[in-house]
Structure 1
Amino acid sequence: MRTTAQPPTPAEHRTPEASIGDDVEAAARKRILTVLFVGVFMAALDAAVIAPAIPALRSAFGVDNRQIGLVTIVFSLCSLTSTALMAALSDRFGRRTIYLLDIAGFALGSLIIAKSSSFGVLLLGRAIQGLSAGGITPTASAVVGDTFPADQRGRILGLIGATFGMAFVFGPILASALLVVASWEWIFLINLPFAGIVFVMGYRALPRVTRPAALPPFDYAGITTLAVMLASLTLGINRAADTLTGRTVWPALLATAVLALPVLLWVERRAAQPIVPLTLFGTTQLRTTWVLCTGAGFGMGSVIFISSVAVAAFATPADQAGLLLLPLVLCSSVASALFGRLQNRLGPRRIMLAGFGTLAVGALLIGVAAPTFWLFITATLFVGAGVGIVVGGTLRTVVLDEVDATQRTAAQALVNIGIAIGNLMVVAVLSALADRAGGGLAGLQAAYLFAAGVMVAMMAMSLRLQPTRVQVLAAG
């Protein structure tokens, strides 16, 4: 970990965004912040409304449960594999250009879904949505690093993290209302006015930069290898979680992902401008952060089984179990915003210890006391607060503090990739453990006891973080 200020980055090695922070006035920053919030909220809202739409989509297109699962898998696959690509394009062509392109692409995908005449066209729309969504949050986070002072970034990123909680509060309610008064198409058409507002405001508010005349060759080999690795990993984990899939498919996919890793390292060492700069793994602080991102995704993804616990423990109707998660989501939003404000005072180590510790308590309570209603609700509050803390702004701010301004978007993309991998892993691992433990409530409790152990391991990993924020950048 570097603890002394570095000399200014030479002008020829700096992106134009690296020097715009001091030139942005307070009023302009507020407009930029509005653009970022609404864009991230739009992407998060789509993730929150898709679950209520699934039964309607299955009925409308006459597909079975296995086929309808592609609606989620295609989006996740495209989003994960496009994250690094959008980050690289952002560094080459500017945050503003790529952010607006992603917003427009997301709107196009939503329109295609709403107007789809077949299930294949619907999946095409979801793929376009995923490819676009993969760049929205990393680019927005990099813009925060470009335009806001270092002592404000934690608070801003914490608030951006809280928008996910807001989306998951209002999303299911909005989707249910639209299904009652209109049709499933409007669940996706609702994205269009959001996208229009963001695009117009972003066109006016986001900083314009002049791109250099000469750019290094694009890292086609790197992006191809990374896409193969992430696609194999995504499909392998999804297939491993699907007990109906043949036993030989998912090991082959995971083996492909493992074999692609050394190839990626070899390619990136030789790239003029690598998709994944290997310097992003150069410090203990960064290496620890990538592990914690995966752990944060694991903790975040564990929420998916809590409604199943409510159904098994209290015979809650399946279509009403989601209502029991509203306190969790509200607690998550509050915790994300609160700990974003406390970040400069507490430092990343204490915040991540608090977050993973809170998650561990919540998972442990579910594992040992789920049949007791008030303890179950208490557990959901702990889980919600823990998710808000670990997936809030802390890890993103650590990355902004650690990397050069030229690598901000690539680093934020790795944050997204880590969280996404954790999300994929938790579904496969906890579902397998629940089935092995006999299924039902007993199986789910066993799975949550394992999740509590993972969160304790992440607490131990958090001790490797620096106790306080150390500014290592002169640029930005």
Structure 2
Amino acid sequence: MRVAFVLVLGTFMAGIDATIVSVGIGTLAGEFGASVAEIQWVSTAYLLAVVTAVPASGWLADRFGGRRVWLVAVGVFLLGSALCALAWSATSLIVFRVVQGLGGGLLPPTGQALLARIAGPARIGRVISVVAVVPLLSPVLGPLAGGGLLAVASWQWLFLVNLPIGAAAVLFARRHVPVVAPAARRTPFDVRGAALLSPGLAVLVFGLTAVADGDTVTAAVGVVAGVAMLAGFTVHGLRTRRTPLIDPRLFARPPFGAAALALVVLGASVFGTMFLLPLYFQTGRGLSAWEAGLLLAPQGLGAALGTVLVNRTIDGAAPRTLVVMGIALVLAGTVPFTQLHHGLPDLATAGALAVRGFGMAMISSPVMNIVYTRIEPERIPRASAALNLLNTVGGSVGTAALAVVLQDRLSARGQDVPAAFADTFWWVVGLGVLAAVGATRLPRTRAAAKS
């Protein structure tokens, strides 16, 4: 648990920074004299860098050892954070966010794989339940922390806040995280796969972002090019005699395929909702960033309480049972937001978010536990890279898709903004139903732990 706490610091730092800047976009635009469209690249560039870095994390951990890669990733992230605080223009800030994102993209998959190897199959269930709550808390705590910092300090502290957390993580990791040896069989780096997968994902996410912005030409080119590159990577991964960057065959192995689907949809639901609700609170109801963050806080509380339950039951309950119950709770907590046009009270909003958070905690931990206890130890780093990549892509794709739906409904509803948001939340409910379909293919019984 001590090792888990140390590695969680890195994941927490990277996750918070992905969302903490969102509430400061207006402040940054005024500081650098940039348009909102230009300064939005501060968030987009970070996301693209994360998507680019994640696929290589498995090979890096195999080649150099998980602990070493994790420490280097923290160092790169801290360097990017310091440079962001010293930025003198919007362009320089965007470039430095790319540096930050490359380090941040390596931290979650490397940390999870390292923890899985150290804990072993017999203990990974209870340990991973602690780690898995961080991605659920980050979208909630990020805007809240950003709003609080901007209320009392300058914009530079959106990035400087990472330095003490990262320094503590490095210090504790050098003392308490044991060294995990690199893979005995060192495989060459999959250059062709890297040239297709990482750029393909980045181009696809860029195209989807353009869809949300209404740039149809750029969107079409980006989506078509991204899908073509990913299709090329899949063909390459199936045909190559060498070890691919991420093995497409993993997704055909039960229960990895069903687990992957659940994580993709969970990412889309979590990040999509955290895109819609703050936007509604600030544009539809006129709340400040701080007030919107406070109203979102119950989801984090629910996730924390759900983690306590999962930690006590994950080794004894069937994975399918936990995940299906979690999805049911997420759906129950989402349906009230389809009635925003009828005037949803703050108390009902807080209760629905707490239920959603509780349910999400019951999904992510069992899904990751399924994978880490049923896969060979030497394949854990690459499996962790695949899972984190799917969660990240699911979040970005889900957010872009919901942004397109919201734009369409705003055009259709005119001045009735709450009704447009309510219509969009029906799509979030649909994502939950899709996750439930995938969950029916998860194992009915828990795997016997092997020492």
Q: Does 1:469 align with 2:442?
A: no
Map of 1:280 onto structure 2:
250
Find the partner of 1:448 among 425, 432, 445: 425
Does structure 1 retain, via aligned residues, the 8 Å contact 2:18–2:46?
no
Cα gap change, 1:318 to 1:185, in 2 (>3 Å)? closer
Map of 2:229 onto structure 1:
260
Cα gap change, 1:398 to 1:210, in 2 (>3 Å)? closer
Structure 1 residue 170, shift from structure 2 partner:
5.2
Q: Aligned partners of 1:340, 1:368: CA distance in 2, in Å?
A: 34
Q: Does 1:389 align with 2:389?
A: no
Structure 1 residue 177, shift from structure 2 partner:
4.1
Cα gap change, 1:186 to 1:309, in 2 (>3 Å)? closer
Structure 1 residue 165, shift from structure 2 partner:
5.0
- Three-state SS of the structure 2 residue aligned to 1:467 is coil
Does structure 2 retain, via aligned residues, the 8 Å contact 1:155–1:337?
no
TM-score, with length taken from structure 2: 0.91
Find the partner of 2:395 among 411, 423, 427: 423
Map of 2:160 onto structure 1:
189
- Three-state SS of the structure 2 residue aligned to 1:446 is helix
CA deviation vs aligned residue, 1:66-110 (integer Å, no higher than 9, x gap): 011101111111101110112211111100110001000000000
Aligned residues: 442
Cα gap change, 1:344 to 1:263, in 2 (>3 Å)? same
Structure 1 residue 115, shift from structure 2 partner:
0.9
Find the partner of 2:31 among 54, 60, 73: 60
- Three-state SS of the structure 1 residue aligned to 2:158 is helix
Map of 1:406 onto structure 2:
378
Map of 2:52 onto structure 1:
81
Cα gap change, 1:182 to 1:312, in 2 (>3 Å)? closer
Amino acid at match of 2:235: W
Does structure 1 retain, via aligned residues, the 8 Å contact 2:42–2:97?
yes
Structure 1 residue 235, shift from structure 2 partner:
0.7
Amino acid at match of 2:293: G
Does structure 2 retain, via aligned residues, the 8 Å contact 1:360–1:453?
no
Map of 1:49 onto structure 2:
20
Q: Aligned partners of 1:175, 1:432: CA distance in 2, in Å?
A: 26
1:3-402 to structure 2, matched below 5 A, reads 30-165=1-136, 167=138, 171-211=142-182, 215-243=186-214, 245=215, 247-268=216-237, 269-301=239-271, 302-310=273-281, 316-317=287-288, 320-368=291-339, 371-373=343-345, 374-390=347-363, 392-402=364-374
- Three-state SS of the structure 2 residue aligned to 1:346 is coil
- Three-state SS of the structure 2 residue aligned to 1:344 is coil
Does structure 1 retain, via aligned residues, the 8 Å contact 2:406–2:421?
yes
Cα gap change, 1:166 to 1:421, in 2 (>3 Å)? closer
Q: Aligned partners of 1:173, 1:212: CA distance in 2, in Å?
A: 41
Amino acid at match of 2:217: T
Does structure 2 retain, via aligned residues, the 8 Å contact 1:328–1:384?
yes
Cα gap change, 1:94 to 1:248, in 2 (>3 Å)? same
Structure 1 residue 185, shift from structure 2 partner:
1.1
Please say which of residues 407-416 and 50-59 is displaced more in the overlay: 50-59
Does structure 2 retain, via aligned residues, the 8 Å contact 1:312–1:441?
no
Does structure 2 retain, via aligned residues, the 8 Å contact 1:49–1:171?
yes
Q: Aligned partners of 1:213, 1:285: CA distance in 2, in Å?
A: 27
Cα gap change, 1:200 to 1:377, in 2 (>3 Å)? closer
Cα gap change, 1:93 to 1:448, in 2 (>3 Å)? same
Does structure 1 retain, via aligned residues, the 8 Å contact 2:147–2:290?
no
Does structure 1 retain, via aligned residues, the 8 Å contact 2:264–2:391?
yes
Cα gap change, 1:58 to 1:153, in 2 (>3 Å)? same
CA deviation vs aligned residue, 1:381-424 (integer Å, no higher than 9, x gap): 2222233333x322221111232111111111111111122212
Cα gap change, 1:286 to 1:442, in 2 (>3 Å)? same
Amino acid at match of 2:427: F
Q: Aligned partners of 1:462, 1:167: CA distance in 2, in Å?
A: 24
Does structure 2 retain, via aligned residues, the 8 Å contact 1:165–1:333?
no
Task: Report the aligned-residue RMSD.
Answer: 2.3
CA deviation vs aligned residue, 1:132-176 (integer Å, no higher than 9, x gap): 111111111111211114242122112112234555565445434
Amino acid at match of 1:294: V
Q: Aligned partners of 2:137, 2:402: CA distance in 1, in Å?
A: 26
Structure 1 residue 367, shift from structure 2 partner:
0.6
Cα gap change, 1:187 to 1:284, in 2 (>3 Å)? same
- Three-state SS of the structure 1 residue aligned to 2:447 is coil
Q: Aligned partners of 2:292, 2:264: CA distance in 1, in Å?
A: 27
Does structure 2 retain, via aligned residues, the 8 Å contact 1:154–1:343?
yes
Structure 1 residue 261, shift from structure 2 partner:
2.9
Q: Aligned partners of 1:102, 1:451: CA distance in 2, in Å?
A: 33
Q: Any unmatched runs of 5+ in structure 1? A: 1-29
Does structure 2 retain, via aligned residues, the 8 Å contact 1:43–1:133?
yes
Q: Aligned partners of 2:362, 2:301: CA distance in 1, in Å?
A: 13
Q: Aligned partners of 1:150, 1:298: CA distance in 2, in Å?
A: 28
The share of aligned pairs that are identical, in percent, is 25
Structure 1 residue 199, shift from structure 2 partner:
1.5
Please say which of residues 290-299 and 369-378 is displaced more in the overlay: 369-378
